[in-house]
Structure 1
Amino acid sequence: MPEMTPDWSLRRLVHLVAIYAGALLFGLVAHWLHFPLPWMIGAMVFASSVRMLDRPLPVPGQTRQIGQVLVATSVGLSFTPEAVGAMVSLLIPMVGAAILTIGLGFVVAAFLMRVTRADIITAVLASIPMGPVESATLAVKHNVRPGPVVFAQTLRIMLLVLLIPPAIVALDGTVKDPVAALSRMEWTASGALLLALAGVAGAYAARAVRLANPFFVGSLGGAALAAAFSLPITAYPYPVLVLAQVFLGVWLGAVFDRDLVRHARGFIPGAIMASLLLIALCICMGMALTWITDEKWQVMMLSTAPGSVTEMALTAKILEDGLAVVTAFHVVRIFIILPFASSIIGVTARLAQRWGLQSHD
């Protein structure tokens, strides 16, 4: 641990300023190219490029939590009593979509085993959308290498962010300025501050009871309660959402480094194909739910995307349609998959042992 001298602190501050300046520059280019979520995508591309050059990106871990709180509370504004009432009728499709996503994860895991000769635990942990941190923890618990698992989970999230929002906005055809819906929100200083306080309170309450993904789910809950009780909360000024996108983009891109790729080298082509397969299968599920629920196809595709609740919710906000529904689908899936992830992998391990499915490594 280096001594916290003024000179060392100044160097670190300069380093952080350079990192976020580079991320903002890439975000500006993405904004100029009319990408949806330009600041997040630009920051992610910048951070992953720097890490692939084997350069350090020592960003504070709290930046991801700040980004999640800001985005989650912004999304929570949409949970008005009317929106919550409309979602009650979709509870069965939400639960069904979450369970079916687990089933599709096993289908993709079987494909991944065939093309990479990975063991069944690695394949399942890499294929069911449960997040890089959670899946890596379970990999260590079950004595398999966490590197390929983290790579596959991170790769899927990056592909979702890079492919789904631009594709849906392009196919929708009604959005001329992808950032307009985020930048023209009315706000007041007191309302934005109250929104942030509601989110932080919800985040720490969720953390205290050990909920999954507390800084998103808890902040969302705090903001949703504030909206439901008609407290005088408002949106944030647009620069705050830019900051949130940059924080999240840099954090996500920084995970995707050369060392991670090096340890998953033989696994990479299969992981790319498996990620695209899961995304395609979930798109098919979303289209089927469009017919079942009478919701718009854009809303259902965002709702059933296998991960990236933050980015899918922001895309719904850009489309100005179905934000509460998209968020609810993802939150229900989070609460079904993450609490039972350990049990799912435990049962898989026992069945694999009984059926003689051993590692091919």
Structure 2
Amino acid sequence: MTSLPASLWLKILLGAVIGMISGALARWIGMPLPWMLGPMLGCGVAALAGAPVHGPSGLRVIVIPIIGVMLGAGFHPGLFDHIGTWTGTLLLLPGFLIMATFVSYTFYRRVGGYAPVDAFFCAAPGGLNEMIVLGGQAGGDESRIALAHALRVFLTISGIALVFALLLDIRAVRGAASWVAVTDLSLLDAALLLACGVIGFYGGKWLRLPAPQLFGPMIASAAAHMLEWVTVPPPSLLVIAAQLTIGTVLGCRFAGVSLREMGRDMLLGLGATMLLLCVTTVFAALLGPVAGTSLPQGVLAYSPGGLTEMSLLSLAMGQDVAYVSTMHVARIVMILFGMPLVFRLIGKTLIDASRKDR
């Protein structure tokens, strides 16, 4: 990052300032997950308004492991006593992914008039980066695919947080007791948490885990906490800084997007996300009789948001982080392995149809 031009540094600084102000405002008004949602919304609005903002994307490699270690701190002995009840959720997950992708694809294709390849990769509720790469290699419009997935994550997180707070009266867990000061950690605690982040990060990449920057440190931290080698999470200031960074990066993804030029794509992204959330709610409701899972927990488990963001949201809402994170990891694995296989079967048909459309 030291070689970045001065103009880019100024854009990053502006994004950081807007993110911090937005986070503080969100915290003041009592928004759930304020230090991520506040910057995400504030920077998103600023970016769409034409402000020269840029997210500190280079810091994600540092802050994502912090979030992973924090999420792992929510694990404790006895947490998996009811893991058998997760089976129903996992069994329904492939059906949910098929239905969600089909509904979204049909919407983009029939309502939006997207070329089949674009519609296919915009529809899949998988990782943003992976769908952009796969879609670009297949001849899709990378900018359109990127916008669709950025909107999906953005709207999913915002919408669920607001619905939980306004309709279900489920609000962020708050209170002084949850604050962890730097001085609350011993040197051994700090060393163990740091080791969880570093070893988990490199171990996750070596094992080729999905979302290794998050999932590797999360597994290492979970093991350390379940074995009670360490019993405290990372300091709250570090966690807040990590959330501010993630929220700012998400919001600044809309920099350079013109409302006039991209307005139609954004409206289609809104419509597709609403349909996805409707499918999510239906399948989450099915989890009640099938697995005895509450509707809020089922919605968090199936919602097509990012693994990091949905895990954070479940923690903020006092839900089962292990359950929600496991389901999102399973979703990512199924999408990453399933989409290329499906595309091998129907890819030529989609590409030929896309060329005719264009």
Please state which band the TM-score falls in when normalised by the shorter chain.
Answer: 0.7 to 0.9
Change over 3 Å in CA distance of 1:189–1:165 after alignment to 2: farther
Contact 1:64 1:247 in 2 (8 A): yes
Change over 3 Å in CA distance of 1:39–1:353 after alignment to 2: closer
Partners of 2:202 and 2:2 in 1: CA distance? 30
- Is 1:66 aligned to 2:74, yes or no? no
Partners of 1:59 and 1:106 in 2: CA distance? 33
Q: Please point out which of 154, 172, 180 is paired with 2:175.
A: 180
Contact 1:192 1:233 in 2 (8 A): no
> How far off its partner does 1:241 sit?
1.8
In the other structure, the counterpart of 2:47 is 51
> How far off its partner does 1:159 sit?
0.3
Q: Which amino acid aligns with 1:206?
A: G
Q: Which amino acid aligns with 1:129?
A: P
In the other structure, the counterpart of 1:230 is 228
In the other structure, the counterpart of 1:311 is 309
Bigger Cα displacement from structure 2, 295-304 vs 180-189: 180-189
Change over 3 Å in CA distance of 1:345–1:182 after alignment to 2: farther
1:173-208 superposed Cα distances (whole Å, 9 cap, x missing partner): 364x64438944585244254223202211211223
Matches within 5 A, 1:47-196: 47-173=43-169, 175=171, 178-180=173-175, 183-184=178-179, 187-190=184-187, 191-196=189-194
> How far off its partner does 1:3 sit?
6.7
Contact 2:68 2:218 in 1 (8 A): yes
In the other structure, the counterpart of 2:30 is 34
Change over 3 Å in CA distance of 1:48–1:277 after alignment to 2: same
In the other structure, the counterpart of 1:275 is 273
Q: Please point out which of 340, 343, 355 is paired with 2:341.
A: 343
Q: Please point out which of 205, 208, 213 is paired with 1:207.
A: 205
Partners of 1:213 and 1:19 in 2: CA distance? 25
Identity over aligned residues, as a percent? Answer: 22
Bigger Cα displacement from structure 2, 238-247 vs 164-173: 164-173
Q: Please point out which of 225, 239, 249 is paired with 2:237.
A: 239
Bigger Cα displacement from structure 2, 89-98 vs 317-326: 89-98
**Structure 1 residue matching 2:78: 3-state secondary structure:** helix
Change over 3 Å in CA distance of 1:236–1:147 after alignment to 2: same
Q: Which amino acid aligns with 2:202?
A: Y
Contact 1:113 1:120 in 2 (8 A): yes
> How far off its partner does 1:172 sit?
3.7
Partners of 2:11 and 2:104 in 1: CA distance? 41
In the other structure, the counterpart of 2:318 is 320
In the other structure, the counterpart of 1:333 is 331
> How far off its partner does 1:357 sit?
7.1
1:147-171 superposed Cα distances (whole Å, 9 cap, x missing partner): 1111110001000121102221333
Partners of 1:3 and 1:310 in 2: CA distance? 29
Partners of 1:126 and 1:14 in 2: CA distance? 32
1:222-280 superposed Cα distances (whole Å, 9 cap, x missing partner): 21222233222411222222111101001111111234767644433222211110111
1:286-314 superposed Cα distances (whole Å, 9 cap, x missing partner): 11112221122211111111122222222
Partners of 1:181 and 1:124 in 2: CA distance? 46
Change over 3 Å in CA distance of 1:116–1:195 after alignment to 2: same
Change over 3 Å in CA distance of 1:153–1:171 after alignment to 2: same
> How far off its partner does 1:77 sit?
1.8
Change over 3 Å in CA distance of 1:230–1:134 after alignment to 2: same
Partners of 1:94 and 1:260 in 2: CA distance? 40
Partners of 1:14 and 1:108 in 2: CA distance? 38
Partners of 1:49 and 1:128 in 2: CA distance? 26
TM normalised by structure 1 equals 0.87
Q: Which amino acid aligns with 1:111?
A: F
Contact 2:37 2:158 in 1 (8 A): yes
Unaligned runs of at least 5 residues, structure 1: none
> How far off its partner does 1:134 sit?
0.8
Partners of 1:248 and 1:116 in 2: CA distance? 30
1:329-356 superposed Cα distances (whole Å, 9 cap, x missing partner): 11111222123332233323135469x6
> How far off its partner does 1:59 sit?
4.2
Contact 2:301 2:325 in 1 (8 A): yes
1:28-58 superposed Cα distances (whole Å, 9 cap, x missing partner): 1111221101111111123223333444434
TM normalised by structure 2 equals 0.88
> How far off its partner does 1:282 sit?
0.7
